[in-house]
Amino acid sequence: MPTLTPLETEALLLSMRVALWSVTISLPVGLLVAWLLARRDFIGKSAFNGLVHLPLVLPPVVVGYLLLILLGREGPLGRALFSLFGISLPFTWQGAALAAAVMAFPLMVRAMRLSLETVDRKLESAARTLGARPVVVFATITLPLMAPGIVVGAVLAFARSLGEFGATITFAANIPGETRTLPIALYTLIQTPDGEAAALRLTLISVVLSLAALAVSEVLARRLRTRIEG
Amino acid sequence: MLEMTVEKRLENFTIDAKISCETSGIVAFFGRSGAGKTSLVNMLAGLLRPDRGRIAVNGTTLFDSDQGIDLPPERRRLGYVFQEGRLFPHMTVRANLNYGLRRVPMGERAIEQDNVVVLLGLETCLARRPHHLSGGEKQRVALGRALLANPRLLLMDEPLASLDQPRKDEVLPFIERLRDELAIPIVYVSHSMPEIVRLADTMVLISSGRVEAVGAVDDLTSRLDLRPLTGRYEAGAVIQARIAGQDRDFGLTELAFAGGRLRVPHVRLAVGTQLRLRIRARDVALALEMPKRSSILNAIPAVVRDIGTEEGPQVDLRLDAGGATFWARITRRSLVDLNLHPGTPVTALIKAVAIDRYSLGRSAGPGRFLGNDD
């Protein structure tokens, strides 16, 4: 097995950490949003739906810039975060994770919403007649039945986060060891004279990583589906 | 006691129903498809909210629009057996059965899993998933799951409708066992008169969202004015009978009832067992004298009470045989030829073979349930 250079290891681990955090923070929010979109009717629902899907159609650089405006030191949210908690997101790996999460969010919500829509609501009402409160019904019936969709959504979001470039570089910049994820490191190498060989290695690492994520999701989703269907 | 006064506007029709009846044994909600039976049961269960009204079961108010009471389904303690079973596909049979039971406080568990598993014959299914069960097994698990929630009332919405006849025959005896061996009142929704006659004591007749009549099954099925709702094809009478003897040589069973004795193909039940049987109007012929040599085993002296006023070549007559009601369907021509009027004494001729095991149901009371014919 070919060994990785310290730089490659750093970029790889950083990318994984950013992507994992991106998925972790977007999972609960995504679930809530998917549930709202699939199950609730409220005023402004289509506007809300549009907002959720915006990162899918906006140029990533625009998303990154919007995040910068919102969460920068002078931004309305950024100022509050800094004065209340001393947190500043731009130019940090946490900021990179947030940018990746925002970009991957629509994909995750879409997968979860689709699977939630296939859950038979009659099973939920049956559970209610058996004495389960709505929260319990959600935890014991709805959630397990939509599990394959959650896994697919999480893996999609993970893969999307691994590849996130535009919003990340705009919001979190290109700081070695802090926000220089795989794609950004690759970009940097391409910009460097004689960087082609190293760039090729990073490309290979990215391909392997993405394929592995896909394979894992495939296996997990299949296992969950057989669990559900018996 | 079931009290229900509800109004509800639905998309294509309005439900405006008033039901008040005892909840002993099985209460059947009968009506054609789309009459509003399921909507009524869903309102009972709390799955559909009435616009106005009041629902109370055995003194507990479940819904009252005036007082602002609307218990959520999980607090109503009504078991619900759905037409399609609705078993949870991601759980084993055992977990399905336990789903409701787990939520019943220890002190209130009158029914435990072991009883139900034996009662419903589910011993071999416990580790399986619903996906691998037959239609009949699925419905039995659904029955067990609802029972184990220890409900104060069990609702069954066409539990047999999605099954073919052999599966129906497989599940029916289990419902009879529930009725006879557990003291849980049951509301049974069906559009099948044979099922209701076999199972139920009380019937609520529903048509276009309204309750047309509430009463004993025997009474309602023998009322001429309700005939358009109970159905002409189904015309027949329910008779309470007792096994009086067995004729092993000819494979016949003798039944005693208010109007005399009936011989029917062998029924494998002990002498003395109460049962009820349904005799269809089209299986009863009439004669003015007792026939001397005839293949018809059952000749019951009776009196004509009522003559149907239907148009057409056939006419239904209500007969009284020692207090038991019979229906006979004869041609209008025979009616004229025999010059039948209310009060005319006649002999009702019933072919023994016309009474099959589908017309027999065990009456409430302990004992074994009805087995197959030998």
Split into its structural domains, chain B has a count of 2
Residue B366 — very low, low, confident or very high, per pLDDT cuts 50/70/90? very low
**Structure confidence at residue B371 (pLDDT):** 33
In a domain, residue B177? The reply is: yes
Average pLDDT over residues A80-107: 90
Whether residue B132 and residue A230 make contact (CB cut-off 8 A), yes or no, is yes
Burial A134-168 (b: 16+ CB within 10 A, else e): eebbbebbbebbbbbbbbbbbbbbbbbbbbbbbbb
Per CB-CB distance under 8 Å, the chain A contacts of B45 are 129
In a domain, residue B13? The reply is: yes
A28 contact B CB<8A: no
Assigned token pair, B350: 């019933």
Per CB-CB distance under 8 Å, the chain A contacts of B82 are 122, 126
Per CB-CB distance under 8 Å, the chain B contacts of A131 are 74-75, 77, 100, 103-104, 149
Whether residue B79 and residue A129 make contact (CB cut-off 8 A), yes or no, is yes
Residue with the larger pLDDT of the pair A1 and A225:
A225
d(C-alpha A26, C-alpha A98), whole Å: 9
Among the candidates B199, B227, B255, a domain finishes at B227
Mean pLDDT of chain B: 84
The CATH number linked to B68 is 3.40.50.300
pLDDT tens digit sequence for B10-69? 888 888 988 888 887 899 999 888 888 999 999 999 999 999 999 999 889 999 999 999
Whether residue A130 and residue B86 make contact (CB cut-off 8 A), yes or no, is no
What whole-number percentage of chain A has pLDDT above 70? 98
Residue B361 has pLDDT above 70, yes or no: no
Q: Which of A92-101, A120-129, B188-197 has the lowest mean pLDDT?
A: B188-197
In a domain, residue B35? The reply is: yes
In a domain, residue B351? The reply is: yes
- Among A122, A125, A130, pick the best mutation site for testing chain B contact (most B Cβ within 10 A): A130
Q: Are residues B57 and B199 in the same domain?
A: yes
The CATH number linked to B348 is 2.40.50.100
Nearest by CB to residue A122, choosing from B46, B86, B132, is B86
Domains, chain A, with CATH or none: 6-229 (1.10.3720.10)
Q: How far is CA A229 from the centre of its chain?
A: 28
Would you say how long chain A is, in residues?
230
- Report ipTM (2 d.p.): 0.82
Q: Are residues B221 and B103 in the same domain?
A: yes
DSSP 3-state assignment of B180? helix
Q: How many CB atoms lie within 10 A of CB B296?
A: 16
CA distance B109 to chain A (A): 13
Per CB-CB distance under 8 Å, the chain A contacts of B149 are 129-131
In a domain, residue B26? The reply is: yes
Whether residue A129 and residue B80 make contact (CB cut-off 8 A), yes or no, is yes
Q: Are residues B249 and B146 in the same domain?
A: no
**Structure confidence at residue A76 (pLDDT):** 86
Q: Are residues B215 and B246 in the same domain?
A: no
Q: For A128, which residue in chain B has the nearest alpha carbon?
A: B74
- Among B41, B57, B90, B155, pick the best mutation site for testing chain A contact (most A Cβ within 10 A): B90
Q: Are residues B94 and B162 in the same domain?
A: yes
Per CB-CB distance under 8 Å, the chain B contacts of A122 are 82, 84, 86
Range(s) of the domain holding residue B261: 236-362
Q: Where do the H-state alpha helices sit in B158-299? A: 165-181, 193-199, 217-221, 227-230
pLDDT tens digit sequence for B307-334? 887 777 888 888 999 888 888 888 988 8
Q: Which residues contact B102 (CB under 8 A, 6 or more apart)?
A: none
Among the candidates B227, B254, B283, a domain finishes at B227
Q: How far is CA B281 from the centre of its chain?
A: 18
CA distance B98 to chain A (A): 10
Strand-pair category, B186-190 with B26-30? parallel
What whole-number percentage of chain B has pLDDT above 90? 26
CA distance A220 to chain B (A): 15
A43 Ramachandran zone, left/alpha/beta (phi>0; psi -120 to 50):
beta
Q: Are residues B250 and B278 in the same domain?
A: yes
Q: How many CB atoms lie within 10 A of CB A226?
A: 12
